Structure 1
């Protein structure tokens, strides 16, 4: 799983960029917010990434911060929210605005994003309120961070396999407690899968 990319910005468009890493160009989909901070073509960039694998496509999404990636994972966990809709929301609302919208159940604020109707906005607000209940208005949208380097990626891997976020988080936390915070991603995912299957 690709967790981040560091390389040269080869191309930049309205909804994607190409990052040259050692001669290989990675096409990444990104929010307008992330694309606006990448800098000039030819410049050095580092982005956090999330890969979505479907039957007909593999898509790599890029983010300017780990916090934006965390929100992307939460948004795409909501039924009816794909990667493009999640990016549209993240292009319209920053982490603080999104936290405020969820905390105050402001579906109209979420519906400002392209491709988000009132019903979907309502679903997003209601589902995320339970998942990010600990996010306060003063936290600037920060999500609780896992302690280990690969914990967030391990949770994402289990979520991609169909586990609910709460199940995945608990299994990874238990695996990390047993293996230690310097465990490899592979070891963490293997043990977390065993724990989640019990």
Structure 2
């Protein structure tokens, strides 16, 4: 089982990279996001690897971070999601953005990925809702509040503040991040007006 490769980029294709490791070229299939951040031929690179062994194929999938690899595994635990769709999702959303979308039950964000229709998006959100917080990465600080918003159990001031900020044109994710920061500064007992004011201050930075 190959878990990690460190070598020199030999070539980058539309959906894969060939990584030269001591004279052996390993083909690793990657998300578009990973390929765009790898660098150019001749440069050094490190990939976290997921190895697939089937009767008729042996495939390597490469990721820049262990967290992205974990999401690749998680996504494929959902019915109807294979490696191709999982890579499409990770090409569209970062691990943090994906965790946020699942927490907020944002079907539109998840279904932006090619090959992910409304039904598959709902399954991803439903089946991974309880697992997402553990793999939120940079989104971990506000994931709890976003889950409360997604499940409709957030406090009235929080829900009202997020609603007000989204009505001003911010995305639900941006609004939730701003209100989460506002709660830290204004305290848990802050009313919606204070949360909106502090949230706007956060968004203007």
TM-score (norm 1): 0.67
Give the drift of 1:114: 0.5
Query: Matched residue of 1:130: which SS?
Result: coil
Q: 8 Å contact 1:95–1:141 — kept in the other structure?
A: no
Q: 8 Å contact 1:63–1:69 — kept in the other structure?
A: yes
4+ residue runs over 6 A deviation: none
Structure 1 alignment gaps of length 5 or more: 143-198
Give the drift of 1:39: 0.8
Counterpart position of 1:139: 140
* Cα RMSD, aligned residues only: 2.0
Counterpart position of 2:69: 69
TM-score (norm 2): 0.65
Counterpart position of 1:47: 47
Q: 8 Å contact 1:33–1:91 — kept in the other structure?
A: yes
Counterpart position of 1:96: 96
**Residues 135 and 61 of structure 1: CA distance in aligned 2, closer, same or farther (over 3 Å):** closer
Query: Matched residue of 2:130: which SS?
Result: helix
Q: 8 Å contact 2:99–2:135 — kept in the other structure?
A: yes
Q: 8 Å contact 1:20–1:26 — kept in the other structure?
A: yes
Is structure 2 residue 155 aligned with structure 1 residue 129?
Answer: no
1:107-156 Cα deviation digits (max 9, x unpaired): 111110011111111101100002224566842799xxxxxxxxxxxxxx
**Residues 79 and 54 of structure 1: CA distance in aligned 2, closer, same or farther (over 3 Å):** farther
In 1, distance between residues paired with 2:140 and 2:124?
20
Equivalenced residue count is 142
Normalized per residue, the structure richer in helix is 2
